[in-house]
Amino acid sequence: MLREQTHDERRAIDVLVGFGGVVAVAAAPEEVRRALVHVLVHDVGFECAGVFDVAASGAWVLADAAGVASSLLGFVVDADRVGGEVGDALLARCARGFTRALTVPLASGGGLFGLLVILHGDDDPGPDTLRLVEGLVDLASGGLGRAAQFRELSRSYATLRDSRAALEKGEKLRALGQMAAGVAHDLKNIINPLSLHLQILQRQVARDAVDARATMTDMHGVLKRGLETIERLRAFSHQTPSVRPEPCRLDALAREAIDLARVRAERGAGLRIESHFDVPPAVVISAAECVAALLNLLVNAIEAMPSGGTIVVSTGSDDDGSWVRVVDDGPGMSAEIQQRVFEPFFTTKGDDGTGLGLAMVYAFARRYRGRVELVTNPGRGAAFTLWFPHPCDSLPPPPR
């Protein structure tokens, strides 16, 4: 015959089942730790229980506890202390009258996920209580292992998602580049003969036909600008520099872009542009393309603040490269818009926008082994940062 369970045994089973249900749905290690110390104090009957986690420095840190002052949370024990020494350190620090510390490792699958420390008085826990603690520790250790795996999988998924987004963005830029190459080829075939015809006309027009010759000179100027625009399309299609890059100081280029944008900024009410320039090390890029990219960012910031505001342009450097940043205090962007803002043809301006400005900025940074970063939140403005490596770190390939 089966032995009838005692009240204590039924209660222990209820505690284990209840705690197992909590651990089964816990997605974060702190949920498991918090539930463990809670059940040990409120259900098992210990006066104090805490779980130490391993900090990045290797030291032990009291992450969760029950039955002690909240000021003890964050209590640090040196990394060279192991096992019971950690429990003794907490016992010495605790102001209450505990005399003994029971320290149990929280380990599962070859990994150590913390140390459980139970403080109590002179009376040792009975064998039944110790078996219950052992069962709770086994459940908690398994839960901590699964939570750690879940966190690692979440981190890997986020990295994979970012890589996929970057791949999709690069694919869209490649498709746009192919289209730009075709358009540039066809336009050049059309405009080049027109330029030759103008040269012939200039030779045939009488020397005293000043107005006609001046008009043709102006037409030559327009054609020259058109060919330069086509060349920029060709450069975008190849994603390589169209001119030979040279060492440039970002603070000087930022000043040039501000001068170009200032007239437009002065048309807005209460709009001002401020600058805070360090002198970062030079980077090897195209000065004209950089000015165009910064002007694009400045114009976008101006258009985002029709009622006025402040734009701050700054430059600086870190150990690996130099950067220039454009910050506005405009309406900012939602997370959905932020994810798509560098996509070709994506625009929030309706018929007034082409959706190519920020895509060109992104392509420019990529051409010179740089990157463009955006930090924004709704109602808190936007900060665009163009970063480029030092010349010794990564030189762009020679123009093709």
Q: What is the pLDDT of residue 242?
A: 55
Strand stretches in the chain, DSSP E: 48-54, 60-66, 76-77, 100-108, 111-120, 246-248, 271-277, 283-285, 309-317, 321-328, 371-376, 382-389
Query: 43: exposed, middle or buried (C-beta count within 10 Å: 0-12, 13-18, 19+)?
Result: middle
| 171-182 pLDDT tens trace | 766 666 666 665
CB 172 within 8 A of CB 51: no
Q: What is the pLDDT of residue 254?
A: 94
Q: What is the pLDDT of residue 160?
A: 82
CB 68 within 8 A of CB 48: yes
* Sheet with strand 309-317: strands edge to edge: 271-277, 309-317, 321-328, 382-389, 371-376
CB 50 within 8 A of CB 68: yes
pLDDT at residue 43 greater than cutoff 70: yes
| 188-210 pLDDT tens trace | 665 666 666 677 777 777 666 76
Q: Looking at residues 9-23, what average pLDDT do you find? A: 84
Cα separations in angstroms, 398 against 30, 254, 293, 360, 389: 53, 25, 21, 20, 16
Nearest to 278 by CA among 245, 320, 317: 317
pLDDT at residue 338 greater than cutoff 70: yes
CB 139 within 8 A of CB 23: yes
Q: Looking at residues 289-305, what average pLDDT do you find? A: 88
Q: What is the pLDDT of residue 51?
A: 93
Question: What are the residues facing 310 on neighbouring strands?
Answer: 272
Specify the amino acid at residue 116.
Answer: L
Query: Which DSSP letter does residue 28 get?
Result: S
Mode of pairing for the β-strands spanning 111-120 and 48-54: antiparallel
Q: What angle, rounded to 10 degrees, do the helices at 357-367 and 127-204 form?
A: 100
Q: What is the pLDDT of residue 329?
A: 92
Which band of pLDDT confidence, cut at 50, 70 and 90, is reported for residue 236? low
Q: Looking at residues 270-281, what average pLDDT do you find? A: 89
Nearest to 286 by CA among 164, 172, 157, 399: 399
Q: What angle, rounded to 10 degrees, do the helices at 7-25 and 127-204 form?
A: 10
CA–CA separation, 191 and 105 (whole Å): 78
CA atoms within 13 A on the CB side of 164: 6
Cα separations in angstroms, 255 against 140, 197, 250: 59, 41, 9
| 104-119 pLDDT tens trace | 998 888 788 889 999 8
Query: Largest Cα–Cα distance of the chain, in whole Å?
Result: 127
pLDDT at residue 395 greater than cutoff 50: no
Positive or negative CA dihedral for 58, 64, 68, 74?
A: positive
Q: Looking at residues 73-89, what average pLDDT do you find? A: 87
Q: Of the segments 180-184, 239-243, 298-302, 355-359, which one has the largest average pLDDT value?
A: 298-302
* CATH class assigned to 246-389: alpha beta
pLDDT at residue 86 greater than cutoff 60: yes
Which band of pLDDT confidence, cut at 50, 70 and 90, is reported for residue 161? confident
Q: Looking at residues 50-79, what average pLDDT do you find? A: 87
Task: Tabulate helix, strand, coil % of the chain (nearest 5).
Answer: 50, 20, 30
CATH superfamily of 7-158: GAF domain (3.30.450.40)
Q: Of the segments 96-105, 174-183, 211-220, 232-241, which one has the largest average pLDDT value?
A: 96-105
Please list, in sequence order, all residues whose beta carbon lies within 8 angstroms of the beta carbon of residue 291, skipping any fewer than 6 positions away. 253, 256, 257, 260
Nearest to 324 by CA among 259, 380, 278: 278
| 120-138 pLDDT tens trace | 887 778 888 888 889 998 8
DSSP state string for 89-109: HHHHH--S---EEEEEEEEET
Q: What is the pLDDT of residue 1?
A: 43
Please list, in sequence order, all residues whose beta carbon lies within 8 angstroms of the beta carbon of residue 368, skipping any fewer than 6 positions away. 241, 245, 283, 284, 285, 286, 388, 396
CB 173 within 8 A of CB 342: no
Which is more confident, 159 or 170?
Answer: 159
Average pLDDT, the chain: 81
Q: What is the pLDDT of residue 332?
A: 92
What percent of the chain shows pLDDT beyond 70?
A: 79
Mode of pairing for the β-strands spanning 111-120 and 100-108: antiparallel
| 214-229 pLDDT tens trace | 777 767 766 766 666 6
